[in-house]
Amino acid sequence: MKHATGWGTWRISLIMAALAMVGTAPPANAQVKPGDFITPENASKVQDLVSPGQFERIMHGMTIKVVPTERIDWPPPYKDATEKYSSQVRLTPDHRSLVGYVAGEPFPIIDANDPDAGSKIMWNVAFRPISTDEYDLRWFDCDSVYWGRNAPFREITDIEVGHYAGYNEVGRTEVEPIPIDPDFQKTGRYFLSLLYPVLAPQSDRGVGLIKFRYADPTKDDASWTWTPGARRIRRLNYSILDTASGPQAYDPNHYEGFSGKNENYDWKFLGEKNMLGAINVVTVPDVRCPTDGGASHCPDNWEIRHMYMVEGRPRPGKFVSLYQKEVMYIDSEADFVMANDMYDRDGQLFNSYTSWMHYADRSEPGARIAIYPFKREFQVGSSTVNVQSGFSTVCYHPSMDAPSRDSWFINMGSVDRDWFTPEAMARAAEGGHAVGGD
């Protein structure tokens, strides 16, 4: 056991040194350099440095400021947990599920020649460092528009939500119980998530969604929604989680880039590459793009990042998906999906997702409560666009009109398991912003 711990320590030292080298290395592609401003007119300079869907965004008006590459460090408790536990983690004999996982990054070393590299990367995404215990994003909103180069902002709908929150029962590193909530032994839940209550538009006020993820690879997510008109809670079939509802482009399996159940997919590692990503934007709340009809966030800082490219295909017989496949571009330091291009059943690019991140000791400069003794990543913007129709939903995390500049509460004990019940969702819909009516 002592030998295994020592080996794990050596491996973490090695990968941290490698990450430092990536963070300080000059861009591998000489076509772009810090200071370049990318527009539709010179978009060809970055065609090989962004996903196909992101390139379409640029051609429809999104702009990019290229800035120097920086290193993104993990929160120290996450780094310590990785060193302590990662040497005992492995995949199950069918190469799909985890054995021996406790906390931290499951697989800190990715070997490009490993046939299981794709699966291991996706498990790193599932237990990524951005939030290990719980999180609560308060007051965010999403605009739906059609993209267009230099088009005016014409809002189709504005969706405002009180809370987007999650609670991990496994992998906890900062808030007791650490590292595993005893409830996991009874329920087998890896983590719980919620989005409720919808505050606007008025026609959807009170709508909510909660979801449980189970460690059992054969047990699909348990999901419920609250419908205010019918005043009832409805259990959802897993397949419907791949489908957007109403006038917006997101589906529940692709919040934060990807939030589906790993065992329901066949994963293939496509390679690694230096590409552009918005890993640390300057302005929070993020800006509405003035040159593409408001279909993205721009102009924002993008930098060369080391990305893993992973293809996922729904496993036959597991569930019915809208997509033939999806290709994710994952930041190798943050373990976060920076882009996800989803292809329809005919193999044509259909939906494209992009993340905009912020790296600081607080989610935005005006925060006065949620402040940390180290820098961490916050997702401050996201967008899914249907590239076939140009219909885009752009989310602001937090809203520009939020009543407080404290928005992201990560690993602070801000939510507990009581929030993640159908009854709590119904109570919030009936008369309060959340469980306590805040």
- Residue-wise pLDDT for 105-155, tens only, equals 999 999 999 999 999 999 999 999 999 999 999 999 999 999 999 999 999
- Residue-wise pLDDT for 189-240, tens only, equals 999 999 999 999 998 999 999 999 999 999 999 999 998 877 788 898 888 8
pLDDT value, residue 432: 52
- Residue-wise pLDDT for 213-224, tens only, equals 999 999 999 999
Which residue range(s) make up the domain with 7? 1-438
What CATH number does residue 77 fall under?
2.50.20.10
Percent of the chain with pLDDT over 70: 91
Band (30; pLDDT cuts 50, 70, 90): low
pLDDT value, residue 25: 45
3-state secondary structure the chain: CHHHHHHHHHHHHHHHHHHHHHHHCCCCCCCCCCCCEECHHHHHHHCCCCCHHHHHHHHCCCCEEECCCCCCCCCHHHHHHHHHHHHHCEECCCCCCEECCCCCCCCCCCCCCCCCHHHHHHHHHHCCCCCCCEEEEEEEEEEEEECCCCCCCCCCEEEEEEEEEEEECECCCCCCCCCECCHHHHHCEEEEEEEEEEEECHHHCCCEEEEEEECCCCCCCEEEEEECCCCEEEEECHHHHHCCCCCCCCCHHHHHHCCCCHHHEEEEEEEEEEEEEECCCCCCCCCCCCCCCCCCCCCEEEEEEEEEEEEEEECCCCCCCCEEEEEEEEECCCCEEEEEEEEECCCCEEEEEEEEEEEEEECCCCCCCCEEEEEEEEEEEEEEEECCCCEEEEEECCCCCCCCCCCEEECCCCCCHHHCCHHHHHHHHHHCCCCCCC
pLDDT value, residue 303: 98
Band (9; pLDDT cuts 50, 70, 90): very low
Number of structural domains (the chain) is 1
